[in-house]
Structure 1
Amino acid sequence: MVKSDRQPIAEPELPEPRYTFGGDDHVFVDLDQAMSFRVNFRLRALTHELGARQIPGVLEIAPANSSYLVRVDPDRLDPRDLVRELRRLDEELGHGAPPAFRTRIIDMPTYYNDPWSRECLMQFRDRHQNPTGTDIEYVARVNDMSEDEFIATHHGAPYLITMVGFVPGTAWHFQMVPPERQLQVPKYIRPRTDTPERTLSHGGAFAAIYPVRGPGGYQLFARVAPPVFDAAQRLPDFEESPVLMQQGDIVKFRPIERDEYDAIRAECEAGTYRYRIRETEFDPQAFFADPYAYDDRLVKELSS
């Protein structure tokens, strides 16, 4: 990964949360307009504590990148009373260092510049900013890199899963580098009507893997070999849930060639493929202090 900048991550102070209502059975809490590691770590701490309190009438807690939604039973809990409880919770947690948490590191075998995503993107050049080239050519150019440099940068540091949602199994990957090192990629001018499942894409500052075939507007340039959504739960790693990724997981894209891609696909078809997953404790403060050293440690844990 790029290591020319060894400065700590300077995370901004967060504003006061904004509380709004969705009908008479939802409360929406916006922690910040902008996505950052600090807001996502605080969001995780708040929603975890809210769930642990098991407040009667709270039916569901849905965390996003920098906000969360709570569904309530209004016959058991007045949403206005919930807002008062959420304000108290925010005050009790304070605004100090984000707490450490248990998580997983997941190895993601990734075939960059694969033929399937290329075939797909070439069908939709009339919807793209660069109608005569490919998505990888475009995203490399807007980031002032060669294609090889973009690919190396894209998989050079691991990604934090900041949110799971939209299409079932869709995880939002935020690369674990300082803000000034984040890759930024515009979306298509008009969305595609088709995208192969398991296609790795990028839009804005987020990478995302399409869990199923469908429309989309993110730039395409790779395909992961194993699934991230298994509705039938055939593979062992999907025994507890058809969705692989969870908020707070860490993913390392590992570039592979066609032969390894085909071998993994054969294992998936046979129902025998196992992800390489390691459990660890993530310390936000250590990460903020030296993100590159911390990323290196995580990757070494994954390889051990």
Structure 2
Amino acid sequence: MNLDFQPLGDTAIRVSFGNEISKEINQAIRLFTNGLSQNPIYGVIEWIPTYASLTIFYNPALIAYKEMLNKLIEIKDHIKETNLPSAKIYEIPTYYGGETGPDLAYVAKYNNLTEDEVISIHTGTDYLIYMIGFVPGFPYLGGMSNKIATPRQEKPRTRIPAGSVGIAGEQTGIYPLETPGGWQIIGITPLKLYDQTKERPILLSVGHYLRFVSVSYHEYLEIKKAVENGNYQVKTYKKEEGMDYVFN
């Protein structure tokens, strides 16, 4: 895989891995970020992965562009052939339908399905987290079945509650904060995808997966109470998907 290194102003370098959205490119980005974590570069502030690129921000008063570029190339060369670290699967308990999933019936009707069939399809996939953006903690997911693909709302709502699970086109996602939005809302999770009171405020991580699990309204309320009390442990599982990559 050929990587392209380009300066982004005088405080960042963007590494391009390709020009398409794919699991393979996402995994290559994970490999590179793993290399950054294992080989810290003095002066690096943070890095932000997207669908097909990785932007590394640095302090030019601490490290010059050329030195920074050489360090990144060293990391690339160091991981020419390596196994991808195991990804996690986050379990996302979700209450479907009702007042908190007002568009479930529409999604079912649009796709000539029953509501139970929509739920079964939606919970039957492990969704790859490609990137986090839009608002803090919002996961851009891949892997939703086109059997439940549904257009956005013609008129966006001015208020979507935090935790709402929605569908827009061939994508599904979770609103981490209360915001306006035009996605078809089919359910809600009691988990907090963004909690500014925590040392690590964003729950999910790029390159890992999430799995929606249908729960009853009673279970939803119990989990919500546990989350609010700070004694709910998010369930995670190990996903085996080792792959070999050669970077050029």
Q: What TM-score does the superposition give when structure 1 sets the normalisation length?
A: 0.68
Equivalent pair of 1:202/1:219 in contact (CA under 8 Å): yes
Distance in 1 separating the partners of 2:17 and 2:98: 38
Q: Deviations over 1:161-183 (max 9, x none)?
A: 232333222223323x8xx8686
Distance in 1 separating the partners of 2:236 and 2:7: 39
Distance 1:281 1:201, change over 3 A: closer
Task: Give the match for residue 59 of structure 2.
Answer: 73
In the TM superposition, residue 285 of structure 1 has moved relative to its aligned partner by 4.3
Distance 1:140 1:62, change over 3 A: farther
Task: Give the match for residue 219 of structure 2.
Answer: 260
In the TM superposition, residue 61 of structure 1 has moved relative to its aligned partner by 1.3
Task: Give the match for residue 243 of structure 1.
Answer: 202
Alignment coverage as a number of residue pairs: 244
* Letter of the structure 1 residue corresponding to residue 100 of structure 2: W
Q: What percentage of aligned pairs have identical amino acids?
A: 25
If each structure's helix is expressed as a fraction of its own residues, which one has the higher value? 1
- Equivalent position to 2:139, from 156, 161, 171: 171
Equivalent pair of 1:21/1:28 in contact (CA under 8 Å): yes
Distance in 2 separating the partners of 1:83 and 1:204: 39
Distance 1:285 1:248, change over 3 A: same
Are 2:82 and 1:113 aligned? no
In the TM superposition, residue 243 of structure 1 has moved relative to its aligned partner by 2.0
Task: Give the match for residue 127 of structure 2.
Answer: 159
Q: Deviations over 1:38-81 (max 9, x none)?
A: 11110000111023222233221112232111111122333344
* Letter of the structure 2 residue corresponding to residue 70 of structure 1: I
Give unpaired runs (5+ residues) of structure 1: 1-13, 119-133, 234-239, 287-304
Distance 1:117 1:135, change over 3 A: closer
Are 2:18 and 1:32 aligned? yes
* Letter of the structure 2 residue corresponding to residue 108 of structure 1: I
Distance in 1 separating the partners of 2:104 and 2:96: 12
Equivalent pair of 1:136/1:220 in contact (CA under 8 Å): no
My pick for the range that moved more, 107-116 or 242-251, is: 242-251
Distance in 2 separating the partners of 1:140 and 1:155: 18
Distance in 2 separating the partners of 1:191 and 1:30: 33
Equivalent pair of 2:43/2:58 in contact (CA under 8 Å): yes
* Letter of the structure 1 residue corresponding to residue 242 of structure 2: P
Equivalent pair of 2:39/2:75 in contact (CA under 8 Å): no
Q: Deviations over 1:174-218 (max 9, x none)?
A: 23x8xx868655444564432100001233544221111112233
Task: Give the match for residue 162 of structure 2.
Answer: 197
Distance 1:75 1:103, change over 3 A: same
The CA RMSD over aligned residues, in Å, is 3.1
If each structure's strand is expressed as a fraction of its own residues, which one has the higher value? 2
Equivalent pair of 1:167/1:211 in contact (CA under 8 Å): yes
Are 2:10 and 1:45 aligned? no
Superposed, which structure 2 residues align to 1:288-299 within 5 Å? none
Distance 1:272 1:80, change over 3 A: same
Distance in 2 separating the partners of 1:55 and 1:182: 45
Distance in 1 separating the partners of 2:146 and 2:74: 36
Equivalent pair of 2:138/2:174 in contact (CA under 8 Å): yes
SS of the residue aligned with 2:123?
A: helix
Task: Give the match for residue 8 of structure 1.
Answer: none
In the TM superposition, residue 92 of structure 1 has moved relative to its aligned partner by 4.6
In the TM superposition, residue 160 of structure 1 has moved relative to its aligned partner by 2.5
Task: Give the match for residue 6 of structure 2.
Answer: 20
Q: What TM-score does the superposition give when structure 2 sets the normalisation length?
A: 0.81
* Letter of the structure 1 residue corresponding to residue 176 of structure 2: P
Equivalent pair of 1:65/1:163 in contact (CA under 8 Å): yes
My pick for the range that moved more, 23-32 or 204-213, is: 204-213
Distance 1:89 1:276, change over 3 A: closer
Task: Give the match for residue 137 of structure 1.
Answer: 106
Give unpaired runs (5+ residues) of structure 2: none
